[in-house]
Chain A
Amino acid sequence: MLDVRNLSIRFPNFALKQIEFSVAAGEYFVLFGPTGSGKTVLFELLAGLRRPDQGTIVINGVDRTFADPSVRRIGYVPQDLALIPFKTVWQNVAFGLYSKPFRPAENGKRSADIIRQRVNAMLEMLRIEPLAQRLPSLLSGGEKQRVALGRALVVQPDLLLLDEPLSAVDEDTGNVLMREIKTLQRRLGITTLHVCHRREEMEFLADRVATMSAGQLCV
């Protein structure tokens, strides 16, 4: 499903060196490693937010190394969640569905109706329906986390990237969310890459683990 070969990028004081790994369809792959080991940079390369110096990124058999982020069909949940502050929970979750690549096709049904249905179903699945009309500033850390997850999942991406999704919530909320993410991932069968530095998170979630350290990956 995802095949990364010889991926490298160099910065003045850091480098990601010849990263190689593969993730099978539906697999939950955890990248484990300390802060500053290059996990977020690797995610940015996969999402198309940075261009690598060398190497290839193949998603579903198509070389996406230099493809625009808008056409990669990747759901990305960054560490700081990056919710759009002036949009409500509903609008944040629905946001991707109004873009050209993700807008649902109209098969006798108006796409606006399909969007409404899909967003409502996602809010229900994540148990945030009552928060639909709230702005992100009025949500708790765990609620924001669910919104960011819903926004990434509702577009039915080929690949889900979760960058330390539980780092901003307390331990109890983190444990609840961890179980929910795993259940959701199994239910939707979505290929997932998850970055974390907590051992128990890694052990609970991972089908397979790779360790990152100083810009290098050990699968």
Chain B
Amino acid sequence: MGIDQRNGISRLVSWNTFCAVVLTLFIGSLVLLVMSAVLYVDVREFAAVFRNPDFRFAMRLSLWTSTLSAFLAVLTAVPVGYVLSRQRFPGRTLLDSIVDIPIVLPPVVLGLCLLVFFRTSLGQAMENIGLRFVYQSAGIVLAQYFTITPYAVRTIKAAFDNLNPRIEQVARTLGYTQGRVFLRVTLPLIKNGVIAGGVIAWAVAIGLFGPMMILVGTTRQRTEVLATSIYLELSVGRVQSALAIALLMIAMALVALTLFKKLTGDTRDHA
């Protein structure tokens, strides 16, 4: 083995060591943060939280609103992701950027925009025909939908990008219309991407806080979701209770993100 080769290997080893150290420090600090919360909370607090009817209401409301908004986000993201991935037209990059706006904006801005919209004549007209969102649980779904849809679009668009269009083209020559090809070939091929889009959207939705505060407020047994529960518990000095809810949300996020990574194929830990 030559000196150059030995130097190359030692440089590679030191780079790998450096990366491993940074990874360990970062993961270690995150685990430390969570562990400090775990150690701070009395185990009995979890039981107390689960017995609390306010928490149970917030949990139910969080689950159904985030599931519904994730479903609606996926329904939107499939055609939007398809167009952005497959079609070439003037202004496509601009449209792609517009879809991403809610990702880069502070979520509270989105809540503010929604609130202002329902003060316009169009928003008022919607309210007059019964489409009421401000300070309503339907508003939670609306705020979640606008915030999470870009995440679903990103994931589902990536699934379309990774798909070999030739498979669909051959199916077209075999007598299938575009719609039939989409249902019989494309959709089964991007199934994991679609589910992953739904999972990431759901995970973001369940932890959403800012737009809720602006659009629907935090009324107990009415518009209180898990994220706003933490705020309410803290505001009355129940730190233990707030932390117990937070830990529950961390566990839910961890499960959702692990599922997301499995579905998007980011599971190279076996190699």
Contact = CB atoms under 8 A, between A and B. Distances in A.
A202 to B, nearest CB: 24
Contacts of B171: 84, 95
A73 B166 CA distance: 17
Given A49-B169, A76-B170, A99-B180, A82 B164 contact: yes
A100 B173 CA distance: 12
A49 B172 contact: yes
A86 B169 CA distance: 16
A116 B74 CA distance: 37
A104 B21 CA distance: 65
A102 interface: yes
Interface residues of A, number: 27
A151 B164 CA distance: 18
A49 B169 CA distance: 7
Interface string B177-196: 10010000100110000000
B178 to A, nearest CB: 9
Nearest to A49: B169
B164 A96 contact: no
Q: How many interface residues does chain B have, given as a range?
A: 10 to 19
A39 interface: no
Contacts of B12: none
Contact of A85 (B166, B174, B180, B189): B189
Interface string A38-71: 0000001001110000000000000000001111
Contacts, number: 61
Nearest to A163: B166
B188 A155 contact: no
B166 A99 contact: no
A82 B188 contact: no
Given A70-B176, A99-B180, 6 more contacts: A69-B172, A76-B169, A86-B188, A96-B174, A99-B175, A151-B174
Contact of B174 (A44, A49, A83, A102): A102
A78 B171 CA distance: 12
Contacts of A44: 169
B169 A82 contact: yes
In terms of DSSP, what is the predominant structure of the interface of chain A? loop
B113 to A, nearest CB: 39
A82 B171 CA distance: 9
A74 interface: yes
B75 to A, nearest CB: 23
B174 A99 contact: yes
A189 B101 CA distance: 58
A76 B173 contact: yes
A74 B173 contact: yes
B189 A70 contact: no
Contact of A48 (B173, B174, B185): B173
Nearest to B180: A99
Interface in B196-255: none
Interface string A95-128: 1100111100000000000000000000000000
Contact of A155 (B172, B174, B177, B185): B174
A80 interface: yes
A75 interface: yes
A146 interface: no
B170 A78 contact: yes
A194 interface: no
28 contacts: A47-B173, A48-B172, A49-B172, A68-B172, A68-B177, A69-B169, A69-B173, A70-B173, A70-B174, A70-B177, A76-B169, A76-B173, A78-B166, A78-B170, A82-B164, A82-B169, A82-B170, A83-B167, A84-B167, A84-B189, A85-B189, A86-B188, A86-B189, A95-B174, A96-B175, A99-B180, A102-B175, A151-B170
